[in-house]
Chain A
Amino acid sequence: MKSTAELQEKSVTKIDTKWRFIYWRSAILYLLPSIILFSVFLFYPLGKTLYLSFFLTDQQGNANVFVGLENYQYILQAESFHKSIKATILFVLYTVPTGVIISLFLALLANEKIKGVGIFRTIYSSTMGISVAASAVVWLFIFHPSMGILNQLITSIGGTSIDWLLHPNWALVSVSVTTIWMNIGFSFLIILGGLQNIDDHLYESARISGASYFYQLRRITIPMLSPTLFFVITVSLINAFQTFGQVDILTQGGPSESTNLIVYSIYREAFVNYQFGTASAQSIFLFICILIVTILQFKFGERKVHYQ
């Protein structure tokens, strides 16, 4: 008796390991394309960036001289990198809160159940279909010193025209305005989706008890919407850190490096000055910044978020 039980157990484990092997093999087949692509174009280059950040390189990007942490010391002391960090932080502060608030406002408007609201939804989301290059070119003209509509409006009411893109204090604001406009479409669509997921019964019972619009907004809409807002804020933050196209077309990082955001700074260091070592050190810096932001967001943001 004992031996048959043992035998059975053995065959069961044998079948088990056989299935386990089959599952493994097919899983790997399905995952192989992703794994290869991630390895070649994501993990390997991330490691290579870290590697290059410890070296001086030649113009072809070959690592020549090992310099340890000198590239990091260099960028952390360089005035232009300080300016770049300052500009990036200011840019995040200018664009993220304003962008999210405007999109929330538009989504609340477009969530009202009235006739013809579909057209407005389409218009608000339209900026998502407009590329960075196209948006930046249009805004470049809006900010044009003499022919642009902004200065024409200002001078027509008797003001003095503003050097939107040529004055160090205004340039970053102008790039931020362009960016906020560009991002409205995406944030709006996501927030509207979140609003439509909120259960209608919640509002019905609030209405019966005579709660005002703003009371409902504060007590029902915002809490129920918090996961969506949390997502939109995270995405906007990461996008802000990755800004490149607007800067390239509107200001090329100027005037006096006031709009030299971090990705633009990396681009110039690597592909204009051919300093791949210091550019890699800046890239690692960017990676760590985004990592910290994401982790902090999940740690502290998650607690305040109300899930259904």
Chain B
Amino acid sequence: MKILRPTITYLLLIMTAVIVFFPVVYAFLISFMSGAELLQGKFIPESFHLENYQKAFERLPLAHYLWNSFFVSTVVMLGQLIVSALAAYAFVFIPFKGRNIVFFIFISTMMIPWEATMIPNFLTIQQLDWINNYQSLTIPFFAIAFGTFLLRQHFLTIPKELKEASDIAGLRSFKFFWKVVIPYCRTSFVTLGAYGFLTTWNMYLWPLLVTNNDQVRTVQIGLKQLQTQEMASEWGVVMAGVIIVIIPTLILLFLGQKQLQKGLAQGALK
């Protein structure tokens, strides 16, 4: 019994891990195959050459798309951190009247599906002449109720004495924020940052609407382009594109998995 249970656990862990990770491994293997190899129905490529990757970069300005995605995701991440932190600070440290009502309105915005607002938003962006512009991909996403909520929950755990002491010491709000709040709530900032970066990097519908040339187009839309162009003939090239797109976020996830798990669980439960 004592040996049996770990054995069963390991068996189940390995089996499920193989199934869950299979699509990624599959895409990786295909990214090295030529069209002929695929037609023969092979599973393991004959050699690991980088021809498909080279082709993927030749067919599309993939490097430029990658840069666009990286830039947009970073800007949204920073914007969300700043805007959410400001709001959360007001909700926790400033005892203004009507605080609960305003907070409730903030939280209730989480119930508005973004898709229900996308038509007027698209029209607004058109009127502002922000089509094919970085602004349209970043600014609308700076305010995020989830982020305010997550940070507020963590700010609330800061001992009152710290705030009082800093008031007596005459620290300005900004200094208190910089010296006390940020170090104290680092996990939540990292969680929200990683979350913001991941979701922006993976955004699909909005970039599809507001970009129609290569200028600011993100890598996700590039992937769709690649897939529609190359589908008939060269799946290897398409899969090379997939691998290129998922590597940055996978690395980010592997590095921040523990933080993300802790932070998200906190936000979900409190």
Contact = CB atoms under 8 A, between A and B. Distances in A.
B23 A139 contact: yes
Interface of B is mostly: helix
Given A114-B10, A286-B116, A228 B143 contact: no
Contact of A279 (B16, B94, B119, B143): B119
B239 to A, nearest CB: 7
Contacts of B123: 48, 60-61
Which has the most chain A C-beta neighbours within 10 Å: B24, B87, B257?
A: B257
B119 A276 contact: yes
Interface in A116-142: 117, 119-135, 137-142
Contacts of A149: 26, 43
A129 B148 CA distance: 23
Chain B contact-residue range equals 35 or more
Nearest to B243: A134
Interface in B211-258: 220-221, 223-224, 227, 235, 238-239, 241-242, 245-246, 249-250, 252-254, 257
Interface in B42-87: 43, 82-84, 86-87
Contact of B20 (A27, A106, A286): A106
A23 B124 contact: no
A196 B262 CA distance: 9
Interface in B77-129: 82-84, 86-87, 89-90, 94-97, 99, 102, 106, 109, 111-124, 126
Given A30-B87, A106-B16, A149-B26, A131 B120 contact: no
Interface string A208-220: 0000000000000
A192 B41 contact: no
Given A24-B96, A132-B204, A266-B115, A117 B13 contact: yes
Contact of B115 (A44, A248, A263): A263
Given A138-B242, A189-B257, A194-B269, A130 B97 contact: no
A103 B148 CA distance: 27
Contact of A114 (B6, B114, B261, B269): B6
Would you call the interface of chain A mostly helix, strand, loop, or mixed? helix
Interface of B: 6, 9-10, 12-13, 16-17, 20-21, 23-24, 26-27, 30, 38-39, 41, 43, 82-84, 86-87, 89-90, 94-97, 99, 102, 106, 109, 111-124, 126, 139-140, 142-143, 148, 173, 198, 201-202, 204-205, 208-209, 220-221, 223-224, 227, 235, 238-239, 241-242, 245-246, 249-250, 252-254, 257, 260-262, 264-266, 268-269
Given A33-B87, A123-B21, A137-B227, 7 more contacts: A30-B90, A45-B118, A109-B9, A117-B13, A122-B254, A134-B27, A137-B242
